C-alpha cells in the first residue's frame, strides 16, 4: 500500500481515479477506510486521495504529543498535498478531519477549489469535556484501546442496535483498534483544548458545503454556526442519520457531495 513521508512521518494513503483531486480526511479513531462507500462513486470523475492521519490506520504511530495537535495534522495534510501534487483540490473533512480541514483552508485558501465539512465543529466539541470522556482517556492510558472499545460500546445508547448488526460492529471495532493509544489520548486533548475558529471562518470565501446527520445532536448547533459565519456556504442535514453520514447513509451523502462538487467545477475557470 502506498506511503509517503511528510514532516518526518510516514503516512499511509489510498488513491483511486483520475481528474480533479478530492482529498478525504477522516475523523478521530477512524482511517482512510471510513470513505470506502464514497470512493467508488467519486473515482468515476475525480482523483480521490484518502490518507490515514498520524496514529491512525496504517500511518506512523509516534508517542510525541506535538504530532497530534490539530495544527500539526493540518501541516501534514498540506505537505501531503505538496508531495502528491494535489493542486487546487476539493478538501473534505469528517469530524476531527473537518477541524483539520478548517485550518488547512484558513492557511492555504488558494490551494483549494472547495471545502466540505462533515459533522464537525469550529469550537471545542462538548462531548470531549465530559467526565465520561476523561475516564475513557485514562482507560486508554492505563489499559489500552481494547478496554476503551468495550467501555465506549457499553456507554452507547444504541449498543443493542449495534450488536444486532455484527458485521457492521466488527468492521467498526477493527478500524477503532487501528488507532494508537497515543493518538487517542493526545488527539482528544487537542480537540478539547483547541482555539475556537468561528471568527476566523468569516475570512473564507471559497465554496463551502457543511453536512451533518440530523440526529448528531452535538454537531447540529456547531454546523449551523459555521454556516452563519462562512459566506455563501451551503448547509445540508442528512435525515435519519447520526455522526457518520458517509457510512450510515452513503447514497444520500454521495448525492449531496457530488452535486456540490460538480456545481463548483462547473463554475471554476478552465
Render pLDDT for 158-202 as a digit per residue (tens, 0 to 9): 656 667 677 778 888 899 999 999 999 999 999 999 999 999 999
Pairing mode, if any, of strands 112-118 and 21-25? unpaired
The rounded percent of the chain whose pLDDT value lies above 70 is 94
Rounded to two decimals, what is the model's pTM?
0.94
Q: Is the pLDDT of residue 268 over 60?
A: no
- Cβ-based neighbours of 174, under 8 Å, separated by 6 or more: none
Q: Which residues pair with 4 in a beta bridge?
A: 11
Task: Of 151, 260, 253, 128, give the one whose Cα is nearest residue 207.
Answer: 260
Distances (CA, A) of 79 to 55, 83, 138, 265: 17, 6, 32, 24
Q: Is the distance from CB of 159 to CB of 252 less than 8 angstroms?
A: no
- Give the three cell numbers for residue 30: 477512524
Q: Are 66 and 40 in contact (CB under 8 A)?
A: no
Among 87, 75, 117, residue whose Cα is nearest residue 22: 87
Distance CA 135, CA 29 (A): 17
What phi, psi does 9 have (nearest 5°)? -115, 140
The residue-averaged pLDDT of 144-152 equals 92
Amino acid at each position: 500500500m502506498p506511503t509517503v513521508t511528510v514532516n518526518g512521518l510516514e503516512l499511509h494513503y489510498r488513491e483511486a481515479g483520475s481528474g480533479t483531486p478530492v482529498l478525504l480526511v477522516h475523523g478521530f479513531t477512524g482511517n482512510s477506510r471510513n470513505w470506502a462507500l464514497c470512493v467508488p462513486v467519486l473515482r468515476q470523475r475525480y482523483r480521490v486521495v484518502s490518507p490515514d492521519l498520524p496514529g491512525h490506520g496504517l500511518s506512523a504511530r509516534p508517542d510525541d504529543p506535538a504530532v497530534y495537535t490539530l495544527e500539526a495534522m493540518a501541516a501534514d495534510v498540506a505537505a501531503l498535498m505538496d508531495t502528491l501534487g494535489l493542486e487546487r483540490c476539493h478538501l473534505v473533512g469528517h469530524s476531527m478531519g473537518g477541524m483539520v480541514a478548517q485550518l488547512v483552508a484558513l492557511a492555504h485558501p488558494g490551494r483549494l477549489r472547495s471545502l466540505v465539512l462533515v459533522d464537525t465543529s469550529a469550537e471545542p466539541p462538548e462531548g470531549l469535556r465530559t467526565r465520561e470522556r476523561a475516564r475513557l482517556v485514562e482507560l486508554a492510558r492505563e489499559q489500552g484501546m481494547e478496554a476503551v472499545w468495550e467501555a465506549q460500546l457499553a456507554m452507547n445508547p444504541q449498543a443493542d442496535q449495534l450488536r444486532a448488526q455484527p458485521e457492521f460492529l466488527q468492521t467498526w471495532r477493527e478500524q477503532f483498534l487501528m488507532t494508537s493509544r497515543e493518538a487517542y489520548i493526545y488527539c482528544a486533548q487537542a480537540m478539547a483544548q483547541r482555539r475556537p475558529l468561528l471568527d476566523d471562518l468569516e475570512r473564507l470565501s471559497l465554496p463551502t458545503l457543511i453536512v451533518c446527520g440530523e440526529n448528531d445532536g452535538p454537531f447540529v448547533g456547531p454546523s449551523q454556526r459555521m454556516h452563519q459565519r462562512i459566506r455563501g456556504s451551503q448547509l445540508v442535514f442528512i435525515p435519519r442519520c447520526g455522526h457518520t453520514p458517509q457510512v450510515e447513509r452513503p447514497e444520500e451523502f454521495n448525492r449531496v457531495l457530488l452535486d456540490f462538487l460538480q456545481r463548483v467545477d462547473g463554475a471554476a475557470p478552465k
